[in-house]
Structure 1
Amino acid sequence: METAQSQQQAAPGAFAAFARFVLCGGGVGLAAGFAVAALASWIPWVLANALITVVSTLLATELHARFTFGAGGRATRHQHAQSAGSAAAAYVVTCMAMLALRQLVVAPGAVLEQVVYLSASGLAGIARFAVLRLVVFARTRSQAAVTVRTVRPLSATFARASAPTDPAALCRAA
């Protein structure tokens, strides 16, 4: 029974999961924004963004597996691969936002670049939350739900519901 309770507690609701996602993913995203800016002073911005996206995706996926979505353990390779797909889409969104900024502003300052980058990352992050919750870590939640439901076997539930309460009725039915 305790296993079922711990599994049930391990799967947070949508609001709690989103709050954890913002805390973990937002923290990693904020650090990534500064890391991209720092690294872009040595290498082209697109390459800096790609490198930081890979590192931050690996870190964030681990955090989401352990804390955000209640898996309670390390992310699997399959979950990392699925998460990488959503990160690739986020990478495209941030690159497009930065390219649009450079088309609109000839020499954007570091603060404006950060605002645009973090805004694009935030919008992409909301989409990533949906993908991670509904696709990548959905199996973990459904396994917890199955574990909770199978604590009392279906046959025992059925037998209790269909058994007559009067012992004499048992004799008459036979």
Structure 2
Amino acid sequence: MKQPLAPPPAVAAPARPGPFASFLRFVLLGGGVGVLAGLAVPLLAAVMPWVAANAAVTVASTLLCTELHARFTFATGRRAAWREHWQSAGSATVAYLATTIAVGLLHLLQPSPGLLTEQLVYLGASGLAGTGRFLVLRCCVFAVRRGPVVRHLTPRGAAGVPALAAAA
């Protein structure tokens, strides 16, 4: 007697962390990269205009952070897709504008601020923009997609009766 085919095993999706856990991961990973970016911008600004240095560091840190957030912050269980990189780039553009405007305003108010003052303004603006980015990434970019439910049906015999019942 021929054994009926068993339905394919369901592949369990990775457990998605809750809002608090994912925010904590976002702060640790994104904040860590942000601090490194904050150190890299003045180093690059020594050889190029500050706006260009900030843009270069923003591009590099956005690519890195999108991968880290896909894998660890929001636990998608996979690398970030191109769509997620582009969407993340959109929110990073807003963050770039926020840091650039904040530091630009600082330079208007205080033409020669010290490095510490510039860093405090830069990191403060980055922190505020980062909170907005977290919401965009969690609610839009890496949101759980609710698609149609796919059910694995047991193979059916000629009369539409499940194969196990038909064999009995």
CA offset digits 1:4-38 (Å, max 9, x no partner): 3xx252x1100000000001100110100000011
Residue 152 to residue 8, structure 1, CA distance change in 2 (3 Å): farther
Aligned partner (choices 118, 123, 126) of residue 113 of structure 1: 118
Cα distance in 1 between the residues matched to 2:114 and 2:10: 55
Aligned ranges 1:19-30 → 2 under 5 Å: 19-30=24-35
Aligned partner (choices 42, 50, 75) of residue 47 of structure 2: 42
Aligned partner (choices 7, 19, 22) of residue 17 of structure 1: 22
CA offset digits 1:87-110 (Å, max 9, x no partner): 000000001001110011121000
CA offset digits 1:31-78 (Å, max 9, x no partner): 000000111111100000000000000000000000001111110000
**Paired residue type of 1:142:** R
Cα distance in 2 between the residues matched to 1:152 and 1:29: 45
SS at match of 1:88: helix
Counterpart of 2:145? 142
Residue 8 to residue 76, structure 1, CA distance change in 2 (3 Å): closer
Instruction: Name the % identity.
Output: 54
**Paired residue type of 1:97:** A
Larger helix fraction of residues: 1
Aligned partner (choices 75, 84, 87) of residue 80 of structure 2: 75
More RCO (CA 8 Å, sep 6+): 1
Cα distance in 1 between the residues matched to 2:150 and 2:32: 37
Cα distance in 2 between the residues matched to 1:55 and 1:100: 24
Whether 1:99 and 2:107 are equivalent positions in the alignment is no
SS at match of 2:145: helix
TM-score by length of 1: 0.78
**Paired residue type of 2:145:** S
Counterpart of 1:3? 11
Structure 1 segments of 4+ aligned residues over 6 angstroms from their partners: 149-153
Counterpart of 2:4? none
Q: Contact 2:14 / 2:75 at 8 angstroms: preserved in 1?
A: no
RMSD: 2.0
Aligned partner (choices 123, 131, 136) of residue 128 of structure 2: 123
CA apart distance, 1:2: 7.3
Residue 152 to residue 12, structure 1, CA distance change in 2 (3 Å): farther
